[in-house]
Amino acid sequence: MTDAAIDYARYDRIRPIRWTGEALELLDQRKLPFAVEYLTCRTSDDVAEAIRALAVRGAPAIGIAAAWGVVLAERAIETNSAADASRKLEPALDRLNAARPTAVNLAWALARMRGALARAGDDWRAALEREAQAIDSEDLAANRRMGALGAALIAPGSGVLTHCNPGSLATAGFGTALGVIRAGVAQGRIDQVFADETRPWLQGARLTVWELQQDGIDATLIADAAASHLMKTGRVQWVVVGADRICANGDTANKIGTYQLAIAARHHGVRFMVVAPSSTVDMATPGGEAIHIEERDPGELHAVGGSRTVAEGVAAWNPVFDVTPHELIDAIVTEKGVIERPDEGRMRAAFGASAGSAP
Ligand code: MRU
């Protein structure tokens, strides 16, 4: 079955990022699932703060938001010269880039915006807006393509487990891993979907099961600690996750907890699929040990839903990503194709010697 067979009117309804022509509206993911509210960003610093505070999150989504952030920064610059604009915009680009460190899509999108400006003439403002729109639209198209490619790997009647929120909310729309799950459900390949809570920020519990529910897809929530037990019952054949950075050897950074899922999957004979657009591939980083892993406020572990659950004075460590070694990955799916049993040779064959997705 091809992606043309998927009813997108039914399976692609959520848009977390809206450009109005004057402002950027972000579906505020801190408030979901009980309030569906858009946060209005009028400056690039509003966008940087929204990324830092997780109002918008997920690797592709923060890249897209940052691209529109550059368009907002351009509104505050007075010059007709693209070269002058390029100098004047740099501090705003630096602040956007510093908002979160692990997802390469952020730096990738800013590099694309810099490239568009470098190529532009007097129409540099329009060129930046066109580039941001292209980054946004290409992400949606990539997700739909990956949905079809990834679903084709899944045998009819399968169960799948996903982690964090690799969905519409984390992208321009349709999602990466959730795009594969949407396509797999639409094609009758996936019978059962399980989602991890994803502590401490609860992307699975607050976002993934809500977003699938919007499309009429029943997903069963499990505690993160229940994943190995679930695999042992034989109810899942694939773990399907997104990625924040895929290195030149296939090592993959994703939400904390992904690595232990990959270990458990291998132990139980469950297959492990990473789904991400080529904008997440970073051929300039040789392996996972070189990835900067974001650490967030330990307070995220001290409280649940704003209520303190841990005694005062207890230390907490809160790394929010981990790296899954490529040996534990059965397939990496990008819009360019499927890489089975990824390693450096297969990654280089697919993405070339330089940064795979760098503009
Ligand atoms: O901290 P988050 O919520 O931004 O982390 C997001 C993830 O780890 C996702 O799994 C990843 O970005 C892939 S989403 C398409």
| pLDDT digits 0-9 by tens, 244-286 | 999 999 999 999 999 999 999 999 999 999 999 999 999 999 9
Separation CA 177–CA 320 (nearest Å): 19
> Where residue 78 sits, what CATH number does that domain have?
1.20.120.420
299 and 197 in a common domain:
yes
User: Which atom of ligand 1 is least distant from the CA of 241?
Assistant: 10
Backbone angles phi, psi at 196, to 5 degrees: -75, 150
**All residues at 6 or more sequence positions from 340 whose CB lies less than 8 Å from its CB, including other chains:** 330, 331, 346
Q: Could you tell me the two tokens for 285? A: 């980083």
Letter for the amino acid at 336?
Answer: K
Assess whether the previous peptide bond of 342 is cis (omega < 30° from 0): no
Low-confidence ranges of the chain (pLDDT < 70): 1-4, 353-359
Q: Are 279 and 108 in contact (CB under 8 A)?
A: yes
Please state, as a whole number, how many other Cβ atoms lie within 10 Å of the Cβ of residue 83: 12
The rounded Å distance from CA 244 to ligand 1 centre is 6
Dihedral sign for Cα atoms in the order 190, 196, 198, 204: positive
pLDDT score for 306: 87
Q: Could you tell me the two tokens for 332? A: 């990496």
In a mutational test of the pocket of ligand 1, which residue from 28, 104, 254 has the highest number of ligand atoms less than 8 Å from its CB?
254
133 and 158 in a common domain:
no
Burial class of residue 72 (count of CB atoms within 10 Å of its CB; 0-12, 13-18, 19+): buried
pLDDT score for 357: 43
Separation CA 35–CA 359 (nearest Å): 37
| Domain assignment of residue 357, yes or no | no
Task: Answer whether 279 contacts ligand 1 (Cβ < 6 A).
Answer: no
pTM over 0.75: yes
Last residue of a domain, one of 108, 123, 141: 141
Structural domain including 118 reads 3-141
Q: Could you tell me the two tokens for 80? A: 């007709």
Please state, as a whole number, how many other Cβ atoms lie within 10 Å of the Cβ of residue 262: 25
Last residue of a domain, one of 125, 141, 157: 141
Task: Answer whether 240 contacts ligand 1 (Cβ < 6 A).
Answer: no
Q: What is the DSSP string of 334-355?
A: ETTEEEES--HHHHHHHH-SS-
| Domain assignment of residue 97, yes or no | yes
Letter for the amino acid at 352?
Answer: G
pLDDT score for 192: 98
| Domain assignment of residue 176, yes or no | yes
pLDDT score for 45: 98
In the chain, the number of structural domains is 2
The rounded Å distance from CA 121 to ligand 1 centre is 36
pLDDT score for 268: 98
Q: Are 274 and 241 in contact (CB under 8 A)?
A: yes
